[in-house]
Amino acid sequence: MELPPDTVLVFDRDEDLFVFESHVHVTNWIEAMDVDDGEYPAVYSPDGGVLALTAPEGPEGPVVLSRTDDVDLGDLERRVAAYWHRHQTGRPPRDPLQTARFLIDMANQPRRGWLGRVTDLLRRERQA
């Protein structure tokens, strides 16, 4: 799968990683109060381009995502490796592009809700 051109990797202060398919997805999901509090210290494009998250109107206003002229592929790779070590134990680490694809693919997988799982259990119990 080819990554959308505006894919964004966002790290929170706990080093958790969120991948968004576009700048619009980022600014719609992230809250200005969290940006204002410094919850997201590192934001990148998959090639290591540094992006800036701001809340220019304060904690109640909109979130703005903008490109900077900086590139820090080394820091992005370090943060992605830490993500794999912490959250994907036992799996070999992947580079930022592969990680973004992996997380987008996971997010787009159909999920079975709790009702479907309970129904399956009841059907198995009835058949036994």
Helix (H, G, I), strand (E, B) or coil at 77: helix
Do the Cβ atoms of 107 and 17 come closer than 8 Å? no
Using alpha carbons only, what angle is made at residue 81 by residues 76 and 70, rounded to the nearest 5 degrees?
5
Instruction: Report the predicted TM-score, pTM, of the whole model to 2 decimal places.
Output: 0.81
**Each residue's pLDDT tens digit in the chain (128 positions)?**
688 889 999 999 999 999 999 999 999 999 999 999 999 999 999 999 999 999 999 999 999 999 999 999 999 999 999 999 988 888 888 899 999 998 888 877 766 677 776 776 777 766 65
